[in-house]
């Protein structure tokens, strides 16, 4: 399972440019704690988790170029495309 990962220094940029900031934790640390718990739970069930780190500036550019809203579904689509390119 692919999981989006974020750079600590870009967290506020993510929140300020997201169309769904209400669905994002207030701080990177809060998000990291939540993400680590989810990943641990998934892995304990045998799910292979791959974190895909995104650059928010590049993601924002991709959203503009592809007429995508900056929401969770677009972030998921974006990491899927990144992951496939890296394989």
Mean pLDDT over the full length of the chain:
96
Question: What pLDDT score does 86 carry?
Answer: 79
pLDDT of residue 73: 96
Question: Are the C-beta atoms of 43 and 76 separated by less than 8 Å?
Answer: no
Q: Rounded to two decimals, what is the model's pTM?
A: 0.88
Q: Residues in the chain with pLDDT < 70?
A: none
Of 74, 61, 87, nearest to 4 by C-alpha is 74
Q: What is the pLDDT of residue 14?
A: 98
Q: Which helix (H) or strand (E) holds 6?
A: strand 2-6
pLDDT at residue 85 in the model: 87
């Amino acid at each position: 399972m692919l999981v989006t990962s974020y750079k600590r220094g870009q967290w506020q940029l993510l929140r300020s440019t997201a169309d769904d900031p209400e669905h994002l934790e207030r701080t990177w640390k809060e998000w990291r704690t939540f993400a680590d718990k989810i990943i641990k739970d998934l892995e304990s069930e045998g799910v292979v988790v791959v974190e895909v780190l995104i650059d928010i500036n590049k993601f924002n550019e991709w959203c503009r170029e592809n007429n995508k809203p900056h929401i969770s579904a677009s972030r998921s689509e974006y990491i899927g495309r990144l992951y496939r390119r890296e394989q």
